[in-house]
Copies of this chain bind each other. A is one copy, B any other.
Amino acid sequence: MNYEDLGYAKVDHHRAKRTGEGEVVYGESKTPEQILGIASALANKGAKNILVTRLSQDKADILAKTLNIPFEYHASARIMVVLPDDSTPKYGKVVVACGGTSDIGVCEEAAITAETLGSHVERLYDVGVAGLHRLLHNLDVLEGANCVIAVAGMEGALASVIGGLADCPVVGVPTSVGYGASFGGLAALLAMLNSCASGVSVVNIDNGFGAGFIANRINRNAKSGI
C-alpha cells in the first residue's frame, strides 16, 4: 500500500515515483497538528524539501515550536520548507515577473516553490505596463528562460505583453490585487485567459505555488535544464 492513513489524511508516498515531486502540504485550512503529522510522515519516509504552502505566520510560529527537524519559513511567500536541502545545484532558468509591488507575495510563492523543487529562478518585479520602458529595458532577463511566470493583478495585461515577447511558455498568475470591478482577481483572470498572445496558460488567482510547480516541470525537462 503506497499511502499512509493518518485518519484525517492519507499521505501519498507514491507521488514522487508517479509524478516526480513529493506530496505537497496545502496548509490553508489544516491545523498545526495535522500539518505536523503529515510532514512528519513524509519525513519518516525519507522525503526532503517538503513544501508546506499557504502557511500563515501564526501557524508557522506554532509549528516551529513542535517541529524537531530542520525547516525554513519564507514569510512573504507563506511557505515553510521542512528538511530543506540545497546541496544540489539549481538547473535551467525560470523568470518570475510581476506588475507591481503588491504582487510580490504571490511572486515569492512561485519563486520559492520553483527553487525548492530545483530550478534556478530570476526575479523581475514591478514592470507593469503603465511604465512599459521598465520591462523593455529588461528584455535580456527573459532570454534563455525555459518558462516565464507573469504575475499581475488589476487588468492583468502583463501576461499578454510578455506573451508577445517571450519564446518560451508563459504561465500567467492573476492576483487579487485591486478593488471594485477587479472582483477579487476575476478581472485579471479573465484577461489572462483571453490573452491575444498565443503562449500563455493560466492558473488560479493568487496561485503562485501552482505556477512555480508547473514552471519547474517545464524547466527540469528542458534541454537547457538539469
Partner of A223, one of B192, B204, B225: B225
Cα distance, A163 to B20, chains bound together (Å): 12
Number of copies: 8
Determine whether A137 belongs to the interface, using a CB cutoff of 8 Å to chain B.
yes
Interface of A (DSSP majority class): loop
| Chain B proximity mask over A132-162: 1 for CB below 8 Å, otherwise 0 | 1110010000000010000000111100110
Number of interface residues of A (CB under 8 A): 98
Given the interface contacts A3-B133, A222-B221, does A126 sit within 8 Å of B9 by beta carbon? yes
Q: List residues 100-125 of chain A with CB under 8 A from any CB of chain B.
A: 100-102, 104, 125
Q: Is the CB of A130 within 8 A of B10?
A: no
Cα distance, A224 to B225, chains bound together (Å): 12
- Which residue of chain B has its CB nearest to the CB of A53? B198
Partner of A180, one of B134, B146, B185: B185
- Of the listed stretches A39-47, A66-74, A164-172, name the one at the interface; the rest are far from the partner chain: A164-172
Cα distance, A8 to B64, chains bound together (Å): 28
Interface centre among A21, A134, A164, A198 (most CB of B within 10 A): A198
Q: Is the CB of A7 within 8 A of B161?
A: no
Cα distance, A84 to B9, chains bound together (Å): 29
Q: Is the CB of A131 within 8 A of B12?
A: yes
Determine whether A210 belongs to the interface, using a CB cutoff of 8 Å to chain B.
yes
Q: Is the CB of B198 within 8 A of A201?
A: no
Determine whether A217 belongs to the interface, using a CB cutoff of 8 Å to chain B.
yes
State the A residues within 8 Å of B (CB). Answer: 1-3, 7-10, 12, 14-15, 18-21, 23-24, 26, 28-30, 34, 54, 99-102, 104, 125-134, 137, 146, 154-157, 160-161, 163-169, 171, 174, 176-207, 209-211, 213-214, 217-218, 221-225
17 contacts between A and B (CB under 8 A): A8-B101, A12-B134, A19-B199, A20-B167, A130-B160, A146-B221, A154-B196, A155-B160, A155-B196, A157-B157, A171-B201, A180-B204, A181-B190, A187-B193, A187-B194, A199-B214, A201-B201
